[in-house]
Amino acid sequence: MGKHRDDWGLGDLFEGVFGFGEWAGRHRQRWHGSGRRHQMFEAGELRLVILRLLKERPRHGYDVIKALEDRMAGCYTPSAGTIYPTLQMLEDQGLVRAEEADGKRVYHITPAGEALLEERRGELDEIIDRVRETVRDFAGGAMGELNKAFGQVAARTFREAFRRGPGDPAVRRVAEILRRTADEIEREWNPPAPETGREGL
């Protein structure tokens, strides 16, 4: 069996408590150049990705969802309505088998599933490369700088606030600073329209 990528290389792209991964997960869109796509995978690709995750280790449905979210740094969060029917389809096709464990259905890849992964290895590598590029689009340039700033503010603010406790007056002062900052950011996104003087004056 040929060697597959063990790491999608996405783990360190986003840092901090409030990053773009959370925002991007809600929007579930892929930006590439000037175009925009509303789904991360084309038809049939998710099946290969799930098989790849199950080849790493057996997983239950929610674990598959979280693994996908983590591997894609939050840029894509599949719904249960997408994952569970796909797992059922894979089971019906004999590519995975399910076992009950602690009240959950845990899915294991079968030899047929491993054979399919080997057969489609080049296609799977292209999918992983595309996903890596998508996530790096979010992490690089101005978007990356903004994400890093979010992370720094969140980490420094909450770490110190928890250390001081809610009774420290500085906590309220910092909260007010953040409120003013939020207002300033809103004005930056939506500047007021310039006033026009009355003609003839």
| Per-residue pLDDT tens digits for 47-77 | 999 999 999 999 999 999 988 887 776 666 7
Q: Is 100 or 25 the better-scoring residue by pLDDT?
A: 100
The angle subtended at Cα 107 by Cα 105 and Cα 113, nearest 5°, is: 155
Domain definitions of the chain by residue range? 20-139, 153-188
Q: How far apart are CA 149 and CA 159, in angstroms?
A: 15
Is 20-139 a domain of CATH 3.40.50.2300?
no
Task: With a cut of 80, say whether residue 114 has pLDDT above it.
Answer: yes
Q: How far apart are CA 102 and CA 107, in angstroms?
A: 13
**What's residue 131's pLDDT?**
77
| Per-residue pLDDT tens digits for 10-31 | 433 333 333 334 434 444 444 3
Which of 102, 13, 1, 118 is CA-nearest to residue 58?
Answer: 102
| Per-residue pLDDT tens digits for 172-191 | 999 999 999 999 999 998 88
Q: How far apart are CA 74 and CA 29, in angstroms?
A: 11
How many residues does this entry show for the chain? 201
Helix pair 111-119, 121-139: axis angle to 10 deg:
70
Residue with tokens 């449905």: 61
